[in-house]
Amino acid sequence: MDTDIWNTQVAQSYDESSANMYTPEVLGPTVDFLARRAGDGPALEFAVGTGRVALPLSARGIRVAGIEKSGPMARELGRKRGGSDIAVTAGDMATARAPGTFSLVYVVYNAITCLLSQREQVACFRNAAEHLEPGGRFVAEVFIPELQRLPPGETARPFHVGDRHVGFDTYDLVEQRVVSHHYSIADGRVSTFLSPHRYVWPAELDLMAELAGLEPSERWADWTEAPFTASSRSHVSVWRKPPTA
């Protein structure tokens, strides 16, 4: 994951630009879902960012730690109320080791796709497994690539067109890559933000989990536990580390 993407300018505007992800109808079910899977144990968030999920989960009384590669994003978290309660380990979620073990490891809002190779994504699963206690759970929220909506021969698809923002994705079907292009208008000026991802299918994630010694446990369309179907545009999946004999 490229630290330069998540620089100071992006970190300072991240919460505002992602305001829709902070609404009660989005954040509430997310925290409820994770709290139930954590139980009485501690939780670890990969790519904890500015603490959108970690802070309200910590406010539930769950001990939450994080791993974050971007220093500016971690500093924004530290400035927030309750931020000092989140122990953040600097490093990549595919390789960095946080102290201790956890009943829950989770990665939200498509962050695992910021790892741009299959090797890195497999390493992320192995890293999660190494952090988990026996019987612990790894949870990931991941988008479904919208390739069915892509006309033959085309590689770009808009996902938002508004007065102050235009966004579209460009696909590389050979490399299994997608780049999200954001163009925002404020005070008569245009700013751009490009976010590269490696899209990954649920079946491929299940194989990564198996390589890491994790077992499939649950798959939902979203945090409200709506059924996952062929038309779902995202999924929330849970894999479990087998308990010791």
- The domains located in the chain, with CATH, are 3-144+200-240 (3.40.50.150), 147-195 (2.20.25)
- Averaged pLDDT, 2-16: 75
pTM: 0.93
Residue 184 to residues 76, 150, 168, 181, Cα–Cα distance (Å): 22, 24, 12, 10
List strand residue ranges (DSSP E) for 83-229, in order. Answer: 87-90, 102-107, 132-143, 156-161, 165-172, 177-186, 189-198, 215-220
Residue 13's pLDDT is what?
Answer: 76
- Averaged pLDDT, 101-111: 97
Residue 1's pLDDT is what?
Answer: 45
At 245, is the pLDDT very low, low, confident or very high (cuts 50, 70, 90)? very low
Q: How far is CA 72 from the centre of its chain?
A: 17
- Reply yes or no on whether the pLDDT at 135 is more than 60: yes
